[in-house]
Structure formats: C-alpha cells, structure tokens
Structure 1
Amino acid sequence: MDQNSFPTKGNYILAKNSLALSKQGYELMDKKRNILIRELLELINSSKNIQRELDATFSAAYLALQNANIEMGIHHVDALSHAIPIEDSIKIKTRSIMGTEIPLVDYDGMKDNVPSYALYDTRLSLDEACRHFNEVKELTLRLSMVENAAYRLATSIKKTQKRANALKNITIPYYTGLTREIANALEEKEREEFTRLKVIKRAKLTKKQKAS
C-alpha cells in the first residue's frame, strides 16, 4: 500500500499540493498547446502561399529556359550552366517556440544578382531564366524551413496533448479522489476522537458524583 495514501494530515497536505501542481501543470500544458497550434496554423497558411508562388515561379523559370534553349541552343546553355558556382552560403540556425527548436535558414542571395557567365554571347532569355531559378531556390529554402518547422511543431503538439490528457484524465482525478478520501478519513477520526473524549468526560463526571 502506498504510504502517501494513509489518512494523516501530512499526507493530506502532500495530496493537496500535488493536486494544485497537477492543475497548474495542466493549465501550462493547455496554454502551450494553444500557442503551438496557433503557430502551426500560421505556418500552414504561409506554406500554402509559398507553394503557390513557387509553382508560378517554376513555370516562369522553365518557360524562360525553354526560350533560352531555342535562342542560344541547348548545348550552349548547358555549357554555361557549368559556370554556376556551388551554393555554399546557406546556414541553418534555430529559434525556440515554447521549448520547440525551429530551424531558420540564413541565405545570402546577393551573389545571385551577379551573373556567372559572359554577357556578350548570351541572350536576355537566359538572364530571365537565371533570375527565375534563383527565385525558385530562395522560395524552396523558405518552403523547406516552414514545412520543417510545421512538422516539429506538430510533433511537439502531439506530445503536449498527450501530457495534458494524462494530467486531466489520470493525475488530477487521482489526487482529487485521494484528497477527498484522506479528508473524509480525518473527519471520521476527529468525530471518533470527539465521541471518545465525551465518553471519558462523562465517565469521569459520573465517578466524581458517586465519590461525593
């Protein structure tokens, strides 16, 4: 048998404190869950907007690339593509939302404004294709950051919901019942003690009256 369930004043105080902490913990979990859900909904809306913009930019980029291939020749465009440097400016940072680490992509897009090929033997369509594909790269980075953050928030919401349910459906009812049981047992003991003292007092009074 659990020693903390014995009907003593010490256990009653412990049970009341545990119940108060459990209720406070549930309130905190509930607030955390609501904040995370609000952040997740904002990320979902942002993801939809970025996805629409990305689809439109992809279409424009491929159309510009198609025009460049027609005007300059596929082999020439392919040869120029090898002059594009490897992307190494992307850095991943993090920020915390209610204890959940959210990735932040730090990307320097300024260097993309400088063409990596000679201008004298190229056409405007190639410049347009490069510009659109650089936008695709930036949008893809933003979308990946948003979707990754949404996944982490969803995982955190699931864990928070599980803990909140455990507090609401298991811990709080347990300590509520335990507090009530101990309180009732203590009250019963106090009534028994009061009755016993009255009997003793009456017996002493009767004995005193007989002696006199």
Structure 2
Amino acid sequence: MSGKDRLDVFPSRMALTVMKARLKGAQKGHSLLKKKADALILRFRKILGKIIDTKTKMGECMKEASLSLAGAKFTSGNISHMVLQNVTKAQTKVRSKKENVAGVNLPVFEPYSEGNDTYELTGLSRGGQQIDILKKNYAKAVELLVILASLQTSFITLDEAIKITNRRVNAIEHVIIPRIEKTIQYITTELDEREREEFYRLKKIQEKKKIIRDRNEKMKLERMAKESALQEEPQNLIEERDEDLLF
C-alpha cells in the first residue's frame, strides 16, 4: 500500500480508534451533503420550471403592453412629454429578502407600490381608457420582470451551490473515505502482524523455558541419583567386611 493511498499514522490501537471515528464522521458528512445536494437540485428544478412559465407570461405581457402603447399613441398622440413631466420618483419599488434552502441563502425580490399614481391625470383630454390599459399592462410587465430577476438570481446561486456541494460529495466519497478505509486496513494489518509476532515470540520463550526446566529437572534427578549411590556404597563395604570376619 503506497503512502498516497493512506494517511501517515503510526499503527496503534489508539490510532485505529481515531481513524474509525473519522470514518464514521466522514460517512455521516457524506450522507448530509448528499441530502443537501438532493434538496438543492429539487429546488433548482422547481425554479427552472417557474422561470420557463414566467418567461412565457412575460412574452405575452410585453406583447399586450406594446399593443396597448400603440393604441394609446393612436388615440392620444405622443404622450412621452406628458409622462416625462409627471415623473418625480419611482412608483414601483423592489424590496429584497433572503430565503434559506438547505443552508444556502437565496435572494428574493418583491415589487411593491409606494405613493400615489403620478399618471392619474394623464389622458383626461382624450384616450384616457387606452392610457389606463397601458399603465396596467406595463405595471404587470414590471412586476413580472422583478419576479423573473429574482428567479434568475436564485437559479444562478443554486447552480453554484450545487456544483460546490457535488464536488464536496465526490471528494468525500472517492478520496477521503477510501483513504481512511485503506489507513484502517493498514493499521489492522500491522496490528495483526504484531500480534502474530508476539504470539510466536511467547511460544518460543515458553519452549525455551520448557527446555531449561527439563534440563534442570534432569540434572536434579542425576544429582539425586549420585547422592543416593554415595549413601548406599559404605553399607556394602561394612557387610562384606563382617562376612570376612565370620569366616
């Protein structure tokens, strides 16, 4: 096993426990990131569908607004100078907020109206109905533009978040977890080898102790036999001497 495939750790029981804890943490992190990626992809697809629907509505709305503008010009003449004279401040404004989706903050834009209608007196002379339709169509178009901008911004943000999350998931799945598993395998192999060496060493020590014990026991028996022989030898001499005296 090469050093690139595993982490550089000293094989021990403590290291094995630490690596198993790291493996469990990596697997849990991989599971959580996978769930996050699935949630982001689900929201990404929903936003994509909303963008398609909003663009379709936007096309129809802009077509109606262009037709109403042509009708207003036909009935009221050139109304551009009247609009420019009445403009003081923006009537439609945009407020921004954030929506949290699986830890990712998505910007959300909402249109709202503030103040009175600055064009309420426009068209009193002629073409008032056409101008009123024109205002409503363009107000609807502005609202759809804000919604579309919000969806597009959320779409781009989610796209980047999904790419980052998928890279992390792939890194944990294909790099970190295999490396930790190979490190655990390496530590386990080294510990098993040490246990085999320790068992072999203890076995040799026991055999050597047995040989020494048997040798000592043999020497002890030989010494006891010699001592016993030395104790019996004088008695035989006395008996033989006594027999000589009797004859």
TM-score, reference length from structure 1: 0.91
Contact 2:92 2:114 survives alignment (8 Å): no
Match of 2:163 in 1: 158
CA 1:3–1:146: 2 relative to 1, 3 Å: closer
For this pair of structures, how many residues does the alignment match? 209
Counterpart contact for 2:95–2:112, Cα < 8 Å: no
Query: What whole-Å deviation, never above 9, does each CA across 1:105-129 have from its counterpart, x for those lacking one?
Result: 23224758x4623153242111101
Q: 2:61·2:140 contact (CA, 8 Å) conserved in 1?
A: yes
Which residue of 195, 202, 208 maps to 1:203? 208
Matches within 5 A, 1:74-85: 74=78, 77-82=79-84, 83-84=86-87, 85=89
* 1:117 equivalent in structure 2: 120
Amino acid at match of 2:45: L
Farther off after superposition, 80-89 or 24-33: 80-89
Alpha-carbon shift at residue 78 of structure 1 (Å): 0.8
Per-residue Cα deviation, 1:112-163 (whole angstroms, up to 9, x for no partner):
8x46231532421111010000000000000000010010000000001111
Corresponding letter in the other structure for 1:117:
E
Aligned-residue offset at 1:3:
8.5
Equivalent of 2:145, from 129, 140, 146?
140
The TM-score normalised by the length of structure 2 is: 0.79
Asked if the contact 2:72–2:131 (Cα under 8 Å) also holds between the matched residues in 1, the reply is: yes
Q: 1:194 pairs with 183, 199, 204, which one? A: 199
5+ residue gaps, structure 2: 218-247
**In structure 2, what is the equivalent of residue 179 of structure 1?**
184
1:44 — aligned with what? Answer: 48
Cα pair distance change 1:88/1:136, threshold 3 Å: closer
Q: Is the 8 A contact 2:97 2:109 kept in 1?
A: yes
**What do residues 74-133 of structure 1 show as CA deviations (whole Å, max 9, x unaligned)?**
1xx112322244246321111211221111223224758x46231532421111010000
| Structure 1 stretch displaced more, 154-163 or 12-21 | 12-21
Matched, 1:127 2:132: yes
Measured in 2, the distance between the counterparts of 1:110 and 1:72 equals: 27
Distance of 2:160 and 2:194 partners within structure 1: 49
| Cα RMSD, aligned residues only | 1.9
Q: Name the stretch that deviates more: 116-125 or 17-26.
A: 116-125
Contact map agreement 1:102 1:149 (CA 8 A) in 2: yes
The answer (yes or no) to whether the contact 1:95–1:103 under 8 Å persists in 2 is yes
Q: Which has the higher contact order (CA 8 A, sep 6+)?
A: 1
Do 1:80 and 1:117's aligned partners in 2 also have CA atoms closer than 8 Å?
no
Deviation at 1:165? 1.0
Q: Which runs of 4+ in 1 moved over 3 A?
A: 1-4, 109-112
> Percent identity among equivalent residues?
21
Match of 2:36, as an amino acid? K
Q: Deviations along 1:45-90, whole A, 9 cap, x unmatched?
A: 000001100110000011001000000101xx11232224424632
Structure 2 match to 1:64: 68
Unaligned residue ranges in structure 1 (runs of 5+): none
Matches of 2:58 and 2:192, distance apart in 1: 70
